[in-house]
Amino acid sequence: MILTIKCAFCGGTGKDPFELLSPVSNCLVCNGTGLTEVEEPIRKCIFCAGSGQNPLGARVPCIVCSGKGKYHCDSITRCKQCNGIGKSGDGLPCSRCGGKGLSSCRE
């Protein structure tokens, strides 16, 4: 089942939240619709805390959830390498779980 959720990166406005190109440019995550689709079961992105924005500072979508703030994962097992926080010591996504904080998520 695929759910339509509000785009986290632009907060559902459909506009580029950082106005990188111009104030009227469309959000690159949802293509201006303000909505994104994620397949169930859906988890809130632990890497960006659901904001959809890259916590590393660049004004770009989160590399783990692609800016949606959520992702599909059918696993509830915490990643042993990062202990479920999705980050490695240097702040980059955990190499084992890809930043999702859960082990063996399937795309």
To Zn ion, the closest distance from the beta carbon of 57 in angstroms equals 14
To Zn ion, the closest distance from the beta carbon of 88 in angstroms equals 8
Q: Which of 89, 90, 82, 91 is closest to 105 using CA atoms? A: 82
To Zn ion, the closest distance from the beta carbon of 2 in angstroms equals 17
DSSP-assigned states of every residue in 13-60: S-B-TT-SS-TTPBPTTTTTSSEEEEESSEEE-TTTTTS-B-TTSSSS
Complex with Zn ion: residue 40 or 65, whichever CB lies closer? 65
Footprint of Zn ion on this chain (CB under 5 A)? 7, 9-10, 27, 29-30, 45, 47-48, 62, 64-65, 79, 81-82, 94, 96-97
